Amino acid sequence: MHSLFLKILIYSLMQCVLGQAEFWDYDENVTQIEEDFKIDDVTRILKRVGNYNRNAYPLLDQDLATHVDIQMYIEGMSSFHAQSMDFQVDIYFQEKWVDHRLQHNNTKRILVKDPKLFGLLWHPDLYFANARTASFHDVTQPNFLVWIYPNGTVWYDCRISLTVLCMQDLARYPLDSQNCGLRILSYAYDEEQLIIRWNGGNPVEVNRGIRMPDMHLKHIKFYTKRDKYATGIWSSAVAEFHVDREITHHIIQSYIPTSLIVIISWFSFWLDVEAVPGRVSLSITTLLTLATQSSAARMALPQASDVKAIDVWMGTCMAFVFSAMIEFTVVNYCVRRKVRTKIKPRGLSEQVHDMVAQYREKKDKFNNGNCEISYEMALQPNEDNATVQRNFEKKEVREMNQASLFVRRSLLPTSKRKTIEDRINRVEENRKNAQKIDRYSRALFPLAFIIFNIFYWIYYLKYAGSNSPELLL
């Protein structure tokens, strides 16, 4: 205490002599000298070493590599963006190494909070190789600390926010799982000078309160590796994040709506085969709606040439809707189809036979109508027989035009009546064939869609998931 009071007195006298202070403030000077006294612990160590080189790693004189133990605490993680191929992570990053040059006789560890003072010490120049951007937290004070233990062990802790590149494999999107790694290595010191190790049995801890809207953190794998470059071999550590994509959002926004659109397109199979406007409108509407839904599902994806699971789904749904339109085209063609028969040239005997048959038919008809003709002649005594016959035939034609279809067909000549009946039968047969196609489509289309769903979900959830590629770093 006497030494501290003496230092305060000397410090105040020096300020008065040099004109740097107009009055003496006890509290302010005590605080300043106490801070200087704390910093003096580090500066005193550096002065004792004498030729301390902050650019030389601790075991340079022994030609041995310095071991740096690292660990981290994952404070938060945000969305894994498929379009930009990256994700955000907020970590507390800790490093530990031994520098025998910093040994001291204090009973407790020395705390360093001044970045400038920390810059006087040697520390590993570790960086995150696959980070797009990185930043330290400075609010309200720089978020870092350094502890120097009596045996020369240095503990460094800081908080960092990173945007990390992650080359995602989108072949199974949105039913995919991703492996994204965070690679840590030294920039200037190769494996002969610095070796990176994970500290302890669980060096990567995670905040259990982390919730991501589109991903679920499954587990974290950590390991060390040796990277070969043109300048040598470098020690590195990798933290590999295994995440599964949340599928609930995609089922609600993509799979269920598109399935309903496909089912709606099947309603045309229950409409009448001659309801052309209704069936055409339904097919075109469902096709355009599905195209819009497919474009919206691809907006969050990069423009890559790889075929993704969502592409297979949308393409198949589009094929089902388009097939329903093709089915309507076939049905409409079957209804309007005309059988083209090749007309064979008729011989003279066949023509004479037809003429005789028509003559007999007309004669029988005339004989059956003699009573009516006689009645007509009685009403018109001044007309000759030929005129009465012509008038009677005109009247008969008018009655035929006003009669029902069955009556008109019965009054037609045999050959014409046969032609009309054949045409009517052909139309009925075509209609039955078209209705048969619709009945088959009502069962085959849903059955095919169910089979596609079975194969689709089994393949992408089981088979494709077990054959996912390894992480490339």
Q: What is the pLDDT of residues 67-98, one digit of tens each?
A: 999 999 999 998 788 888 999 999 999 999 99
Contacts of 134 (CB under 8 A, 6+ apart): 127, 128, 160, 161, 162, 163
Q: Which residues pair with 185 in a beta bridge?
A: 127, 236
Take residue 122 and report the two structure tokens written for it.
């040697």
Distance between CA atoms of 60 and 193, rounded to whole angstroms?
8
CA 45 to chain CA mean position, Å: 58
Domains recognised in the chain with CATH numbers: 2-49 (no CATH), 66-246 (2.70.170.10), 250-336+433-466 (1.20.58.390)
pTM higher than the cut 0.75 = no
Contact 228, 239 (CB under 8 A): no
Q: What is the pLDDT of residues 123-177, one digit of tens each?
A: 999 999 999 999 999 888 889 999 999 999 999 999 999 999 998 888 899 999 9
Residue-wise DSSP of 288-348: HHHHHHHHHHTTTS---SSPPHHHHHHHHHHHHHHHHHHHHHHHHHHHH-----PPPPPPH
Distance between CA atoms of 173 and 178, rounded to whole angstroms?
10
b (16+ CB within 10 A) / e for 173-210:
bbbbbbbbbbbbbbeebbbebbbbebeeeebbebeeeb
Phi, psi (deg, nearest 5) at residue 262: -65, -40
Distance between CA atoms of 203 and 215, rounded to whole angstroms?
23
From first to last of its 473 residues, the chain has per-residue pLDDT tens of 445 445 555 555 555 444 443 333 434 443 443 444 444 467 777 777 677 888 889 998 888 999 999 999 999 998 788 888 999 999 999 999 999 988 888 888 989 888 888 888 999 999 999 999 999 998 888 899 999 999 999 999 999 999 999 988 888 999 999 999 999 999 999 999 999 999 988 999 999 988 888 889 999 999 999 999 888 899 999 999 999 998 998 999 999 999 999 999 999 999 888 888 888 899 899 999 999 988 888 887 887 778 899 999 999 999 999 999 999 989 888 887 765 555 556 566 666 666 666 666 666 655 555 544 444 444 455 555 566 556 655 555 555 555 444 444 455 555 566 666 667 777 778 788 888 899 999 999 999 999 999 999 999 988 766 555 555 55
Contacts of 231 (CB under 8 A, 6+ apart): 190
Number of CB atoms found within 10 A of residue 267's CB: 14
Take residue 324 and report the two structure tokens written for it.
């329903």
Q: Which residues pair with 165 in a beta bridge?
A: 86
Contact 74, 205 (CB under 8 A): yes
Which one, of 234, 274, 47, lies nearest residue 127 by Cα?
A: 234
Take residue 56 and report the two structure tokens written for it.
């030389």
Q: Which residues pair with 374 in a beta bridge?
A: none
Number of CB atoms found within 10 A of residue 152's CB: 16
